[in-house]
Structure 1
Amino acid sequence: MSDRDDPVTIGHRVQQLRVARGLTQKQLAEPAYTPAYVSTLESGRVRPSDDALRHLAERLGVAFEELTTGRPAHLVTGLRLRLTEAQRTHATGEAEEAAQQYTALLAEAEAHDLVEVQATALLGLGECGLDTGELTAARRYFERAERALAEAPLPARVPALRGRAVSHYLAGELRYAVYLLESTLDELNRGGLHDPDALLLLYTGVIGPYMDMGAHARAAQAAEFALALAPQSGDPALVARMHRSVARTLIAEGRVAEADASLAKAAELYRQLQLRTELANCHWMRGYVSAQNGELERAEGELRKALTMLTARRAALYSSQVAVELADVLHRLGRSEEAAGLLRQVLSDLSPERGALHSAAAHRLLGIIAEDARDTEAAEEHYVRALSLLERAGAAGDLADLCRMLGDLLRRTGRVEAALDAYRTGLGHRTAPGTTTLGPAPAQPPV
């Protein structure tokens, strides 16, 4: 629906308000218009001009916006103020409380057909779902946001697309997540739609799937692009709080347009705050690269920085992913007990339905630690549990590697036939069609 209702709806609304106030058509029309004009308008046979509607609104004692749209005065501004409150709540890590605020806002926006507010509330609910691990619900919210923004330019739809891709990724659907993110990146870059915020969301979103699929060079390049695109802000939370306070003052003074502008600035800063999760992924990527290069102390520093940023946002699934990488570095530094404790904490926070890939990675590393300690029984148990989780997620590359590790363990303990079965299973995963290659890399951004 447009911002202004059709003539029939407006005419009916004028008639209802006039009758409720006990006015005749002549009293409503005077002094600028005739009773016949008001009659024609009320019957819906004429599209009134803005001047006529302002005259009628003044005579009826309502706001121009309420007369033309049926929405109470300042409704949109009030909803935007509450949206920034919900974004503030979410940015400070209170995902469940923020979800309640977004749900109430969504219901009101739907009742008044405010598509922009609906889309923002749906995006917020999706992000809250990612933080709390409710992946199916999160994906559905992002899909609804995409539908609400179907007529908007691609950069405006990117947060919903990225959210949907991340929900698939965290559920273990790696290749589909990469397809969504890479195809959107291609469409933006090849179409000249170089929106830095949209590109930043997509490049940071694709790092995790690349890493889990073994596409480390692409992950490193995506992290490089993301860090180059990252917006700079000294203290966005403080500035956002200032803008919210200013907006309240302006609303009280009736300066609605200025209040809206102030709220828009606050909303943008809260959106930047939510990018902390994405930027934490870049620190994780740096830590991983340092670990591969044998720079373990530097890797530990980067990974701890990422983990601190993610834990502050209570992003359980993301922080679990980084915790597993950190545990690997700690184990390689000779601090295996500390690593095992970190991994056990990861497993206590997850379930097979929430974070299967991260749980599998934790069991795999616990198996390695157990093997190093010559506890082959515990090692085998961890490897088998990791295999079960990876089979459910369809992570073929990781499955092949884990089958090799299990086969080696079984062979060393004298169970040759069982080892051969494990090796054959691993070879089957390694040659599964469509699981070992990616298509061409996305077009590069102008950074």
Structure 2
Amino acid sequence: MNEKRTTERGTGAVSSHGPDDAHGPGHDDPGAVGRRVQRLRAERGLTQRQLAEPSYTPAYVSTLEAGRVRPSEAAVRHLADRLGVTYEELATGRPAHLATDLRLKLVEAQRTLATGAAEDAAATYTRLLAEADGHGLDSERAAALLGLGQCALETGDLPVARGHFEAAERLLADAPLPRRAPAVRGRAVAHLLAGELRYACYLLESAIDELNASGLQDPGALLLLYTAVIAPYMDMGAHARAAQAGELALALAPKVSDPELVAGLHRSVARTLIAAGRTTEADASLAKAAEIYQQLQIRTELAHCHWMRGYVHAQDGDLSGAETELRAARDMLASKRAALYTAQVEVELADVLRRRGKAAQAQELLHRLLGELHPDRGSVHAGGAHRLLGLIHEDRGDLDSAEEHYVTALALLERAGAAGDLADICRLLGDLLRRLGRTEAAMDAYRTGLGHRAAPGSTTLGPAPVRPPTV
């Protein structure tokens, strides 16, 4: 499950230096400011003396226009005032207020993504990326790339999403880690959805450790990363680590003012509560998240809350309530053309339909959505779909087909490293093989399942991330 974030942006300030200082404005091209001064002076019909006085000499302006001197901030401000333009416009060549206007358009694109369709938002982000690129606004370019990555996550184009997030990280390579955290999180989510659970954990754990070790105590960035790592931990069966990440995120929440970050926390922590059997608390946590998303009009995240509440109802045996919530989530996601998430919800819906005695509907739904879920795009849920088809065929007495689906599910889940689900599918396969009289094969299946449950709450990644010093 993904979460949308806006990036902190700024153009930075220029220090004041002497006329010949190599670190003044326009340091990429010493003649850039001079050429702009010459063009604007000619357009206004000013002489070099008129432009220079009273603070500078005509000779200085002539040398500047020839590109033989780099102006100080004070000189640029004087010349900008005489030429009737802003300091930024003269120093950078960008139209006045360009960066501010771009940021406002990026916020509007983010709103389109939250309340409209991802394709529409992507078209806007693409246009804004080109505009920011044309004016060399790297912070705004990174924000547009982050937006494009989120759009690609919603539409299920995971390689494209990873490419956008990686490009954003490259642009922000010299920025402090809190600025890069949304790009790291986005890339990790793309790998998670592709079934690369261990690598998603690696990315997030590395960023968490780096942030804690750097002394850059940014509660918002830490909350974003701790919240994001819960999902891959849960899918890997590392419930202890997921619970610890949830506790640390909850401790950070009072220091964070962004309501969307807090809502994402409540939604993610609900997964750990469900796993611990604390369904009432999980439902309350999801209700908090849903209330915030409703206020913010973020439909995708609200749909995820319906999705998880459906799962909670199913765990409690309220299958009618579960079906209602899951259908609401499916309809909301389908209306936003979020194909991958829609298919994932339909796996949960098919399970509820099967349990309600609607096996034919469940089977039809599963066969249709398996065309949308494959090893590189939702392998954990594809494994879940094959598991359900195995159960349906086993209930009907078609044991050969059931075995085929269980084996396929096992291969998908092994590839993803989804330890908890692997143990379950090994048990189902072992029971089926025992019914068929294939005792040795059944024992092998059980041993495989036990191997995946040998170290509950752990991963292959070494020690868990360190705790923030202030938590």
Query: TM-score of the superposition, structure 2-length normalised?
Result: 0.71
SS of the counterpart of 1:366?
helix
Structure 2 CA distance for aligned equivalents of residues 312 and 353 of structure 1 = 24
Structure 1 CA distance for aligned equivalents of residues 258 and 39 of structure 2 = 52
Deviation at 1:138, TM superposition (A): 1.1
Runs (5+) with no aligned partner, structure 2: 1-10, 15-24, 261-291
**What is the aligned counterpart of 2:221 among 172, 182, 198?**
198
- The residue number in structure 2 matching 1:53 is 76
SS of the counterpart of 1:152?
coil
Cα distance, 1:336–1:319 mapped onto 2, change above 3 Å: same
Task: Summarize deviations over 1:316-356 as a string: whole Å, max 9, x none.
Answer: 33444444345445544555455445544542433443212
- The residue number in structure 1 matching 2:32 is 9
CA contact (8 A) 1:155 1:198 kept: yes
CA contact (8 A) 1:40 1:46 kept: yes
Bigger shift: residues 85-94 or 183-192: 183-192
- The residue number in structure 1 matching 2:86 is 63
Structure 2 CA distance for aligned equivalents of residues 11 and 187 of structure 1 = 43
Equivalent AA in structure 1 for residue 413 of structure 2: L
Task: Summarize deviations over 1:118-140 as a string: whole Å, max 9, x none.
Answer: 11011111111111111112112
Are positions 1:153 and 2:171 aligned together?
A: no
Deviation at 1:380, TM superposition (A): 2.6
Which runs of structure 2 are paired with 1:127-166 in the superposition (5 Å)? Answer: 127-166=150-189
Structure 1 CA distance for aligned equivalents of residues 342 and 332 of structure 2 = 9
Equivalent AA in structure 1 for residue 404 of structure 2: E
CA contact (8 A) 1:219 1:285 kept: no
SS of the counterpart of 1:390?
helix
- The residue number in structure 2 matching 1:239 is none
Cα distance, 1:222–1:427 mapped onto 2, change above 3 Å: closer
Which runs of structure 2 are paired with 1:364-375 in the superposition (5 Å)? Answer: 364-375=387-398
Which runs of structure 2 are paired with 1:216-227 in the superposition (5 Å)? Answer: 216-220=239-243, 222-223=245-246
Are positions 1:72 and 2:114 aligned together?
A: no
Structure 1 CA distance for aligned equivalents of residues 213 and 297 of structure 2 = 27
- The residue number in structure 1 matching 2:104 is 81
SS of the counterpart of 1:5?
coil
Which runs of structure 2 are paired with 1:13-412 in the superposition (5 Å)? Answer: 13-19=36-42, 23-30=46-53, 33-50=56-73, 52-189=75-212, 193-220=216-243, 222-223=245-246, 229=253, 313-332=336-355, 334=357, 336-337=359-360, 339-340=362-363, 342-344=365-367, 346-395=369-418, 398-399=421-422, 401-412=424-435
SS of the counterpart of 2:370?
helix
Structure 2 CA distance for aligned equivalents of residues 81 and 101 of structure 1 = 12
SS of the counterpart of 1:57?
helix
Deviation at 1:31, TM superposition (A): 5.5
Equivalent AA in structure 2 for residue 197 of structure 1: G
CA contact (8 A) 1:223 1:282 kept: no
Structure 1 CA distance for aligned equivalents of residues 447 and 100 of structure 2 = 63
Deviation at 1:420, TM superposition (A): 6.3
Query: TM-score of the superposition, structure 1-length normalised?
Result: 0.75
Deviation at 1:201, TM superposition (A): 2.5
CA contact (8 A) 1:201 1:278 kept: no
Deviation at 1:425, TM superposition (A): 6.6
Cα distance, 1:211–1:110 mapped onto 2, change above 3 Å: same
The count of residues paired between Structure 1 and Structure 2 equals: 411
Deviation at 1:47, TM superposition (A): 4.3
Structure 2 CA distance for aligned equivalents of residues 9 and 277 of structure 1 = 46
Bigger shift: residues 279-288 or 404-413: 279-288
Deviation at 1:417, TM superposition (A): 6.7
SS of the counterpart of 2:226?
helix
Equivalent AA in structure 2 for residue 5 of structure 1: G
Cα distance, 1:218–1:321 mapped onto 2, change above 3 Å: farther
What is the root-mean-square deviation in Å for CA atoms of aligned residues? 4.1
Bigger shift: residues 77-86 or 360-369: 77-86
Runs (5+) with no aligned partner, structure 1: 235-268
SS of the counterpart of 1:349?
coil
Cα distance, 1:275–1:64 mapped onto 2, change above 3 Å: same
Deviation at 1:177, TM superposition (A): 0.8
Cα distance, 1:23–1:190 mapped onto 2, change above 3 Å: closer
Deviation at 1:174, TM superposition (A): 0.6
Deviation at 1:82, TM superposition (A): 2.1
Bigger shift: residues 145-154 or 10-19: 10-19
Bigger shift: residues 40-49 or 274-283: 274-283
> What percent identity do the matched residue pairs reach?
68
